[in-house]
Amino acid sequence: MVELIQIEWCGFCVVQRKILEYSGKPFKIKNIPTTDRSYIWKITRNRYHQVPVIKDGKNVIFETSNESQIIAKYIDVKFNLGLFPRKFGGLQNLIWRHIENDVEIICAKLNDIYFEEFVPKNESLLYLRHKERKYGIGCIEEWKMEQQALLMELEKWLWYYEQMLFEKDFLLGEKPVFIDFDLYGMLGMFLYTNHYKLPSAYNRLIEWHKRMETVKFV
Ligand SMILES: N[C@@H](CCC(=O)N[C@@H](CS)C(=O)NCC(=O)O)C(=O)O
């Protein structure tokens, strides 16, 4: 059985979790502490420390770059889900770059504003230190001050996706493909704290999101 090694609120983990749920096949979840990657380091034989990773029997699958979608492609092939149809080759790559860069960074900052609510107390120092080493001292306080501007920026990016849904149920057609799961994952991180909602004017995105909550591969 496939095992997903994850941190619950990480957008990239939500993507793979949702794909596995969509497949309808049983899978296991192993949550790891955000500040302790030793389990991943061990199973990847000292080659990787990020989440998500999946373990399928003896196979341990992880990404090799920010551009790769190795885990999603592995699950796609294993369960024949059709998430990477040839007709959308190249197009999906362009869109997932936007989702995993422009959309992801805003969702992550908006989520991190509330990190004290969901990161266990004994991990909060290392978590904060990790953020401040990457983004500079006081970054969380800065994002708190910029919260409204960040929400407006996210709304601007989400308008693209609202428009893509004008005449279809999913982003590229009548069935979900990888980018539907990718966007769902980043929004999963944005919505995780329950402090935010999708923009109320974006009816199609809201309907799409509801559809994604329950969609199953048939
Ligand atoms: N391109 C990778 C990105 C994964 C990623 O950025 N994971 C983050 C968590 S959201 C991570 O583990 N970062 C290293 C760290 O937090 O120490 C993917 O699609 O899985």
pLDDT in tens, 44-78: 999 999 999 999 999 999 999 998 999 999 999 99
CATH number assigned to the domain comprising residue 15: 3.40.30.10
Question: Do 136 and 63 have their domain in common?
Answer: no
What is the position in ligand 1's atom list of the atom closest to the CA of 69? 19
Question: Do 154 and 116 have their domain in common?
Answer: yes
Whether pLDDT at 218 is above 90:
no
Whether pLDDT at 93 is above 90:
yes
Q: Which of 79, 106, 132 is the last residue of a domain?
A: 79
Whether pLDDT at 1 is above 90:
yes
Whether pLDDT at 208 is above 90:
yes
Nearest Cα residue to 106 out of 199, 201, 2, 211: 199
Question: Do 181 and 198 have their domain in common?
Answer: yes
Question: Do 68 and 108 have their domain in common?
Answer: no
Q: How many distinct structural domains can be found in the chain?
A: 2
Question: Do 103 and 142 have their domain in common?
Answer: yes
Q: How many CB atoms lie within 10 A of CB 191?
A: 19
What is the residue-averaged pLDDT of the chain? Answer: 97
14 lines ligand 1 (CB under 6 A): no
Question: Do 127 and 66 have their domain in common?
Answer: no
Q: Give the range of the structural domain holding residue 184, as residue numbers without chain letter.
A: 86-214
- Percent of the chain exceeding pLDDT 70 equals 100
Question: Do 120 and 193 have their domain in common?
Answer: yes
What pLDDT does residue 67 have? 87
Whether pLDDT at 151 is above 90:
yes
63 lines ligand 1 (CB under 6 A): yes
- d(CA 13, CA 218) in angstroms, rounded, equals 23
CATH number assigned to the domain comprising residue 130: 1.20.1050
10 lines ligand 1 (CB under 6 A): yes
Question: Do 127 and 196 have their domain in common?
Answer: yes
169 lines ligand 1 (CB under 6 A): no
Mean pLDDT in residue range 84-96: 97
50 C-alpha to ligand 1 centroid (Å): 5
Question: Do 140 and 68 have their domain in common?
Answer: no
Q: Which of 79, 99, 128 is the last residue of a domain?
A: 79
What pLDDT does residue 43 have? 97
Question: Do 51 and 140 have their domain in common?
Answer: no
Nearest Cα residue to 175 out of 131, 139, 134, 216: 216
User: 149-152: long-range contacts at Cβ-Cβ below 8 A with a sequence spacing of 24 or more?
Assistant: 150/106, 150/109, 150/110, 151/110, 151/196
53 lines ligand 1 (CB under 6 A): no
